[in-house]
Amino acid sequence: MTPLRLALIVAVARNGVIGTDNTLPWRLSSDLKHFRSLTMGKPVLMGRKTWDSIGRPLPGRTVVVVSRNPDFAADGVEVASTLPDAIAIGNRVGHAMGAQEIMVAGGGTLYAALIGRADRLYVTEVDLAPAGDTIFPTIDPTQWRESSRASHPVSERDDTTFTFVTYDRR
């Protein structure tokens, strides 16, 4: 079985912040719709804290929660105790779903551990610089090339302007 492409999907502020107190430090309805469209029909890997912040399965996607706690269980999701196990589950489930990629949806620990293995990054650049306690790793331009960029104005359902950027590994 050929491994699926591994993609990280994240919204990042100008200062690298992606979260504070296990929540997003902004309201971007347009980005949530973008997240839904990019992850639909695919396996979505996330850490247990990210799972806790969402608190429910994502319709149309198989969620794989990575937790070191052997007693962790949640209805409607797959659970993995290690990243290799999570990726293996993602590949198995993704092939069964007909997906082309496994999506990694946070949090900071998973992003840091997997950015070196990822094939693609779906980044929403958020035009804010809030305080926060979770930071996305630096995107090294020697490792990544920008393949698309689309800027969006602020709307009534979004706190600020933002840009959708896709990076592919060089």
In a domain, 159, yes or no: no
Give the torsion through C-alpha atoms of 108, 110, 111, 112, to 10 deg.
80
Which of 78, 83, 109, 72 minimizes the C-alpha distance to 93?
78
pLDDT by residue (tens digit) across 108-156?
A: 999 999 999 999 999 999 999 999 999 999 999 999 999 999 999 999 9
pLDDT by residue (tens digit) across 52-106?
A: 999 999 999 999 999 999 999 999 999 999 999 999 999 999 999 999 999 999 9
Total-model pTM: 0.97
CB atoms within 10 A of CB 147: 11
Specify the CATH number for the domain of residue 37: 3.40.430.10
Segments forming the whole domain that contains residue 54: 5-12+30-125
Q: Residue 140 and residue 84: Cα distance in Å, rounded?
A: 24
In a domain, 58, yes or no: yes
In a domain, 50, yes or no: yes
> What total number of domains does the chain contain?
1
In a domain, 35, yes or no: yes
